Structure 1
Amino acid sequence: MDLHGRTQLSRRGLLGGGAALAGTVGVAGLGGLAGCSTGGGGGDDAAVNAAVKLPTHQPYEGVDPDLPGDETVLDGYLKFPAEPKQVITEAPGDGQPVTFMTNIPGAIPPPASDNAFWTELNNRLGSPLEISMASNDEYGDKFATRVAGDDLPDLINIPPGTAQLPGLLKAKARDLTEFLSGDAVKQYPFLANLPEVYWRGCVFNGGIYGVPVPRGMARTSLPLYREDLLAAKGIKDPAPKNFQEFFDLCVEMTDQRGNRWAWSTAPTNYLKQMLGIPYLWAEDGGKFTSANEHPRSADALEAVRKLVEAGVVNPDAFTSGASARKQWFNGGIVSFDLDSFVAWNQYYADNTAGDAFAVNMLDVPGFDGGEGTPWLGAALNNITAINAQTKHSPETLLKIANWMAAPFGTQEYLFRKFGVEGRHYALEGSDPIPNKVGVLETGIGLQYVCDAPMALYLAGHPEVPEKQQKIQQKIAPRLVANASYGLYSDTLSKKGAIIDGPLNDLSTQIILGKQPVSAWATGVQDWLAAGGEDIRSELQQAHADVNGG
């Protein structure tokens, strides 16, 4: 796929062995798993993975969008169909409990015994779904503990940055190739509805080892802003043309005495996009370059340091997690938060500011003028693997994943996202408007078993998908993808988090003014010596293996 000429990502070039991401989820007790993968030295074999026939893409065409998208821009819907279709007639379960562990982005919901949505879900699935949950901030540690204790559920939500992922999957997960490869996936039509790019991150050890939870454009992150708060300051349709105008906007939206700041966190990645710095890794002629090495990385840190020094970032940003930042945004303590289209909708679900609450998103200008280069969001939130030791048949668990992926406009989607009318939502026209009980009870993490590609839709707010598609259309021609997606690096898997740690700490120290910007160059050289050069070499070799280089 060529994203409008910025980042060349060939089909084979994306089949090197799952997603290579910036961070890794450390998994204790996996030292013996490296030899389980197919590549030499404990790595994944890019050429073998490139030969895997991916699931046939068969798009669902049951609902016509009000705002048609394309291969990059998501479809938009101004209202929910008045007569949603039932597209699955038989319960997918086998009558026996199915276990699942997952992260959740919101508050911990009531347990199944006190949760009407969960009870009805179990009835519709035909199997009780037993879910072990953790917050987004805590899930990585919980996942690592469960792996180390060999205490895995039937369905496993695996973060893509998990250490030694090929070996873990080979040892613990079911190879699903025979059920999903090529036309076999058509037995599960809503898994077949997922485009090929998402399946590329599920290929390891010469097979398909999970189902994807798709994101891509949905996860593309730019500054979300409280449109109502800016409007109260007389600022409508903000569109800074360069860094200085952006800086001035942030200063204007800050009132420290009034406990108001522009930013929930230091917007380092946004400044990098202003400066044309790549998303993690860039590739040119088979040669890979880390974003850390980009000649303007130091300029990005200097610019963020300037923002922090000006006091436009909440001073608690460096000691607080994502949950706190979301509360600040909803509470009006901050006006800007660097987040995605998924978060945009979630903010409305969590809204505590009343009817005036409104969110929009900034484009990214060039640092000195012109246009910046927005980063295409990671293709996957996670993959869901099937435990090799499960007592359920793979077909049963794939039917459940297929049910979770039923797309927008279906009865299954309506229930999965909104619950039961009267208990969890009220209809306004054909739109299901959630109540507080609905938001709480439905937040059990089903979207991390599997999900349909995101539809731009917000019940009762037709203006939101219009805003969302407008900004997507603006940024689509300039999107830059992570060139390492689909290419496995054993060093990145094992040591990525270890070597990134000191560099991330240095970045924070520079931003806080505790280290000079000049220290960055030395930090990058240390990072390269500690494993960055090895990661580069392994990515280049994987790229060559799948492209005949």
Structure 2
Amino acid sequence: MEQTTRPTTPSLPGHRGPARRSVLGSVAAGAALVAVPGALGACTSQEQAAAPQDGPLSEADLAAVLPAYRPLTLAEPDIPGVDGSTPGYTTVPTTLVKSVPEVPGSGGTYTAMSPAWWTTPPGIDKNSYFQAVNAALGATVEFQVSDGNTYADKLQAVLASPKNVPDWVVIPTWNVPPRFEQGVTALFADLTDHLAGDKVLKYPNLANLPTDAWKYCVFNGRLYGLPYPSELVGNALFYRRDLFGQLGLAAPTSADELLQVAKDATDPAARRWGCEDIWDGAQLLFGCTDWTVRDGKLLSRFENENYREAIEFMRELFASGAVHPDAVAGNTQQAKDRFESGQTLISADGLGGWAEALARVLPSNPAYDQQPMDWFAPDGGAPTLYKSQPVSIFSFIKKTDDAAAIDEMLALANFIAAPFGSEEFQLVNYGTEGTTFERDAAGAPALNDRGTTEVTSTYGFLVSPPIVNAKVQFPQYVRDFCDWMARQAPHVTEPVFYGQQIQDPSQYSSLGKPFDDLAKDIIRGRQDVSALDAAVKEWRNSGGDELRAYREKFLTGDEAS
């Protein structure tokens, strides 16, 4: 599965962004994939699996399976998007639109498996939010919520037993298992005949989803997934602008300045260090991505000189003493706490973590000011940013001969995918006024204590409307976010294989794993940089060259040139 970055923090209501709580994961190819032999073995027992793709789909093939695109704007954004950047809303419309006139469900009951990177919400019997949304849906969705940090293992167990697969399954893109293109045809419903072309117009909110997102839901030439679209750029290097100001520091604009400002901010006697372990941010800073084409040759991340340069930069950063000792020791669980308390002043994170931090810190520290740095090239020039893959999370409907059940679930998805400015969006994101949310002085909805417990990204993980920033409780944050994204947008380019569903042969799925530990060791001075040369040679000899040859089949004419 081609992937450039991983979502890192859960999206808060009103901010339809990527989702994962843990620190930014390795973006190395194949890093988080697990095999699901039971599920894949079930393919042959249930039906003959479709042949995996062996090259990019033609435009004609894609056109035959993709839903028509009919953009829908219920409320004009206060901050329009620029070059694909995120539009923003700082105010709530006076009147919300009912985008789904009739109750979409017809009384069905469906189980749904979903991850959570937060405390598991109460079950449906004790959850007023679930009860309110289900009542509006006219159907019952019973969530089976699992710990997001171990979700891959849970998927492995569930998909290995087809009889136990829930009716609706959420799969983050970084948890899609090897050979899934074989198992998907046996386990999940083919949605092509329900949604392709003008058939999607029966579901206007689904027709509002971007075409690139639907493309990424195509497996073996057929449409299977429902998308949770991604941000144009998903990650940033954040700094504490409030503390920078107190210390007389300026945001860096080159790699050398970043190193220097981290050292200048460090004062162990004051229990303050310049940064966390920003290895994942450094890879983005140095333009590392899974695959690139140089002089007509396809190169992996590890073979690129910029990967080595990123390691060398991090090695110097660690040697300088500017990295918090706990981060040096590998303690990432407390990274957010250290950054938010001012023990560290620079950290790498997903953009969803920004709003999350504000909600957590501002009540006790109104002066708190976390900002993303504008990306820059290592030498201080214009950066090269790689567009996030168009989908960060999928959901799949279990295969069934009951076409009416599939239609009902798609009708529910249409309700859930309602955009900002709709009654449905407010319900899905906040629940019911007076029960799970109240309004602030400006009329913006804000979760109360009960809402904080009950309202989580459950329905939203099944399908999501196009990305917007609608955290109207934090209007300055919305402006800062959208302005930052608009400044980055001109520097964004599509990575090789952008938007293609490619799964590497399972024998190559762990080829990149040794680089995870090796990078940590080199950065911390436990191994010399020269150890990278031997690792790259071993990668090539152990199947890297064969993997490259496999990937080359998916190059388009523009990418190959």
TM (norm. structure 2) is: 0.85
Task: Give the distance between the partners of 1:92 and 1:493, measured in 2 at CA.
Answer: 41
- From 195, 213, 221, the equivalent of 2:210 is 195
Task: Give the distance between the partners of 2:498 and 2:111, measured in 1 at CA.
Answer: 30
Task: Give the distance between the partners of 2:229 and 2:331, measured in 1 at CA.
Answer: 24
Q: Is the deviation greater in 321-330 or in 433-442?
A: 321-330
Q: Cα gap change, 1:259/1:497 in structure 2, threshold over 3 Å: closer, same or farther?
A: farther
- Cα shift at 1:502: 0.8
- From 498, 507, 517, the equivalent of 1:505 is 517
2:62 matched to which residue of 1? 52
1:403 matched to which residue of 2? 415
Task: Give the distance between the partners of 2:67 and 2:83, measured in 1 at CA.
Answer: 18
2:222 matched to which residue of 1? 207
TM (norm. structure 1) is: 0.87
Q: Which one-letter code corresponds to 1:360 in the other structure?
A: Q
Q: Cα gap change, 1:531/1:188 in structure 2, threshold over 3 Å: closer, same or farther?
A: farther
**1:123 and 2:171 are equivalent in the alignment:** no
Q: Contact (CA 8 Å) 1:278, 1:480: kept in 2 or not?
A: no
Q: Cα gap change, 1:90/1:325 in structure 2, threshold over 3 Å: closer, same or farther?
A: farther
Q: Which one-letter code corresponds to 1:25 in the other structure?
A: L
2:41 matched to which residue of 1? 32
**1:268 and 2:279 are equivalent in the alignment:** yes
- Cα shift at 1:176: 0.5
Q: Cα gap change, 1:29/1:365 in structure 2, threshold over 3 Å: closer, same or farther?
A: same
- From 173, 176, 192, the equivalent of 1:177 is 192
Measured against aligned partners, the alpha-carbon deviations of 1:40-83 in whole angstroms (never above 9, x if no partner) come to xx555634796132111111122111111145111111111121
Task: Give the distance between the partners of 2:75 and 2:401, measured in 1 at CA.
Answer: 36
1:385 matched to which residue of 2? 396
Q: Cα gap change, 1:68/1:177 in structure 2, threshold over 3 Å: closer, same or farther?
A: same
1:228 matched to which residue of 2? 242
1:368 matched to which residue of 2? 379
Task: Give the distance between the partners of 1:315 and 1:497, measured in 2 at CA.
Answer: 33
Q: Cα gap change, 1:181/1:323 in structure 2, threshold over 3 Å: closer, same or farther?
A: farther
Q: Which one-letter code corresponds to 1:451 in the other structure?
A: S
**1:455 and 2:471 are equivalent in the alignment:** no
Q: Cα gap change, 1:294/1:213 in structure 2, threshold over 3 Å: closer, same or farther?
A: same
Q: Cα gap change, 1:484/1:548 in structure 2, threshold over 3 Å: closer, same or farther?
A: closer
1:252 matched to which residue of 2? 264
Measured against aligned partners, the alpha-carbon deviations of 1:367-398 in whole angstroms (never above 9, x if no partner) come to 22222223322321121111104866211111
Q: Is the deviation greater in 335-344 or in 415-424?
A: 335-344
Task: Give the distance between the partners of 1:528 and 1:196, measured in 2 at CA.
Answer: 36
Q: Cα gap change, 1:504/1:473 in structure 2, threshold over 3 Å: closer, same or farther?
A: same
**1:279 and 2:292 are equivalent in the alignment:** no
SS at match of 2:37: coil
Identity across the alignment (%): 26
2:25 matched to which residue of 1? none
- Cα shift at 1:170: 1.1
1:9 matched to which residue of 2? none
Task: Give the distance between the partners of 2:264 and 2:77, measured in 1 at CA.
Answer: 39
SS at match of 2:349: strand
- Cα shift at 1:545: 9.2
Q: Which one-letter code corresponds to 1:117 in the other structure?
A: Y
Q: Is the deviation greater in 398-407 or in 104-113?
A: 104-113
- Cα shift at 1:420: 1.7
Task: Give the distance between the partners of 1:324 and 1:481, measured in 2 at CA.
Answer: 33
**1:310 and 2:320 are equivalent in the alignment:** yes
Q: How many residues align?
A: 522
Task: Give the distance between the partners of 1:180 and 1:548, measured in 2 at CA.
Answer: 32
Task: Give the distance between the partners of 2:545 and 2:560, measured in 1 at CA.
Answer: 22
Measured against aligned partners, the alpha-carbon deviations of 1:446-501 in whole angstroms (never above 9, x if no partner) come to 221011122123232211121112211221111133312344555x2514541111
Q: Contact (CA 8 Å) 2:338, 2:344: kept in 1 or not?
A: yes
Q: Contact (CA 8 Å) 2:216, 2:501: kept in 1 or not?
A: no
Q: Cα gap change, 1:144/1:504 in structure 2, threshold over 3 Å: closer, same or farther?
A: same
Q: Cα gap change, 1:256/1:184 in structure 2, threshold over 3 Å: closer, same or farther?
A: farther
Q: Which one-letter code corresponds to 1:221 in the other structure?
A: N
- Cα shift at 1:547: 9.3
- Cα shift at 1:154: 0.9
SS at match of 1:542: coil
Tell me how large the CA RMSD over aligned residues is: 2.8
Task: Give the distance between the partners of 2:495 and 2:179, measured in 1 at CA.
Answer: 20
SS at match of 1:137: helix
1:422 matched to which residue of 2? 434
Provide structure 1 residue ranges, at least 5 long, that are not aligned to the other structure.
Answer: 1-19
Q: Contact (CA 8 Å) 1:37, 1:44: kept in 2 or not?
A: no
Q: Cα gap change, 1:508/1:208 in structure 2, threshold over 3 Å: closer, same or farther?
A: same
SS at match of 2:510: helix
- Cα shift at 1:415: 1.5
Q: Cα gap change, 1:546/1:511 in structure 2, threshold over 3 Å: closer, same or farther?
A: closer
Q: Which one-letter code corresponds to 2:498 in the other structure?
A: Y
Q: Cα gap change, 1:223/1:420 in structure 2, threshold over 3 Å: closer, same or farther?
A: same
Q: Which one-letter code corresponds to 1:313 in the other structure?
A: V
- Cα shift at 1:362: 0.4
SS at match of 1:543: coil
Task: Give the distance between the partners of 1:62 and 1:362, measured in 2 at CA.
Answer: 32
Q: Cα gap change, 1:253/1:135 in structure 2, threshold over 3 Å: closer, same or farther?
A: farther
Q: Contact (CA 8 Å) 1:224, 1:361: kept in 2 or not?
A: yes
- Cα shift at 1:426: 2.1
Q: Cα gap change, 1:537/1:267 in structure 2, threshold over 3 Å: closer, same or farther?
A: same
Q: Contact (CA 8 Å) 1:174, 1:387: kept in 2 or not?
A: yes
Q: Which one-letter code corresponds to 1:261 in the other structure?
A: W
